[in-house]
Amino acid sequence: MSAKLADSHIHLEQYDPQQAARMLSEFQDEGGAFVVAVSMNLESARRTEALAIQYPDVVRPAYGFHPEQPLPTPEEEEALFAWMEARAATSEGIGERADAQAEEEASPAESTPETASGVQKSAAPCLLSAPSNSAQPPRMTAVGEVGLPYYSRLEASERGESLDEDGYVRLLERFVAFAARHDLPIALHAVYEDADTACDLLERYSVERAHFHWFKGSEHTVRRMIASGYRISFTPDLLYEKEIRDLARLYPETLVMSETDGPWPFEGPFSGRATHPSMTADVCREWAQLRGLDESAARAILLDNARRFYALR
């Protein structure tokens, strides 16, 4: 049996609830271990948390503020950070404990395949597990999605307008400081020249567990990120985008993961299809071919990388 799959970056709360439930069930049936569900703002974070409570076997929540939108008001910003503080308390020390445990465990390729205990084998595929009644919020897996507004800045420039770049950098710095204080990984939206600004902040606060999702950037920035041990992840566009394929050949095998960024749609062989976490199987298969690996071994590597980075069992 092939190793399991991990979707290290998905906006699960943006799907219709029934669609999300059906996808998660199908994902587990097809070998899915977990998804890291990121958030856009406070309301998005609340929905993400609800999904993590409802589907504890598969959903790992991350909370933050996506940069490709107007900055939050001061009141909105304080409310989000207060909400995150309450949930970060249950996560402190997880990374160190998971690293110690990982040293004692066998690699995924050698271990006994996990059972998808949350899946109900019934005629209703949209059901996974009964919602949890626990009063304690689920463990906060990461800070994310946070970063800098590269695409919004381009659009503003085309309109002859400007963005408050300093405001976005200040907000990102606050998220980086939060991740450092609570020893949490951080999921970043930072591409091209914005990645260097993000690297500056990560270095300032000594944050090592940084995940640049769907990354694109210069060779100089790539080398800098590799030297720092920062992670990147590949979406289904790995199958057809030359820039991403070249990056996949270059970036070390120990520092990469698979993702979908769903519900963002893709082109090529995925044109017209709803983005599904099971598309990570296509990512694994293509990455294996690019690296000259057996597909099962590639799955095991990408899964283990995500587990270790996000401190998941």
d(CA 24, CA 189): 24
Does the CA dihedral 40-46-47-53 come out positive or negative? Answer: positive
- 11 annotated as belonging to a binding site for a ligand: yes
DSSP 70: P
- 145 annotated as belonging to a binding site for a ligand: yes
Q: Which two tokens stand for residue 106?
A: 């066998």
Q: Which residues contact 21 (CB under 8 A, 6 or more apart)?
A: 55, 126, 127, 128
- 189 annotated as belonging to a binding site for a ligand: yes
d(CA 40, CA 63): 8
**Residue 256 contacts residue 230 (beta carbons within 8 Å):** no
- 182 annotated as belonging to a binding site for a ligand: no
d(CA 67, CA 249): 29
Euclidean distance between the first and the last CA atom of the chain, given in angstroms as a whole number: 19
- 246 annotated as belonging to a binding site for a ligand: no
Strand partners, 55: none
Strand partners, 147: 189
- 9 annotated as belonging to a binding site for a ligand: yes
Strand partners, 10: 37
Give the strand order in the sheet containing 32-37: 5-10, 32-37, 59-63, 142-147, 186-189, 210-212, 231-234, 256-258
The letter for the amino acid at 258 is: S
Give the residue ranges of the annotated binding site for a divalent metal cation.
Answer: 9, 11, 145, 189, 213, 261
Give the residue ranges of the annotated binding site.
Answer: 9, 11, 145, 189, 213, 261
